[in-house]
Structure 1
Amino acid sequence: MSFRYFVYISDAKVEMLLQQIEPGALRKRASEVGLGLQFFTAKRTGESLAGAERTARLERVVRHLTDFGDLGTVDEPGQFFWGLLPLRWGSTVGADGFPMIYFGGRTGKTVLGLGGSRAHVFGAPPGADQQVLPVGRSQLPSLLEGITRVDGTDAPEAVRAATDGLRGPEQNMEFIAKRLMDEPGPEGERVLLGSPLYVALVD
Structure 2
Amino acid sequence: MKFSFSTISKAAPVLALLAAAVAVPAAHAADFDDYARVVSVTPQVEQVNVPRQECRTEYETSQRNYPRQQQAERSNGGAIIGGLAGGLLGSQVGGGNGRIAAAAVGAVTGAIVGDRVENNGNNGNNYNSQPVYESRPVRQCRNIDSWETRTNGYAVTYEYHNRTYTSVMPYDPGSRLRIHVSLTPRP
Shorter-chain TM range is: under 0.3
User: Which structure has more helix as a fraction of its residues?
Assistant: 2
Larger-gyration structure (1/2): 2
Task: Pick 1 or 2: higher relative contact order, CA cutoff 8 A, min separation 6.
Answer: 2
TM-score scaled to structure 2, two decimals?
A: 0.18
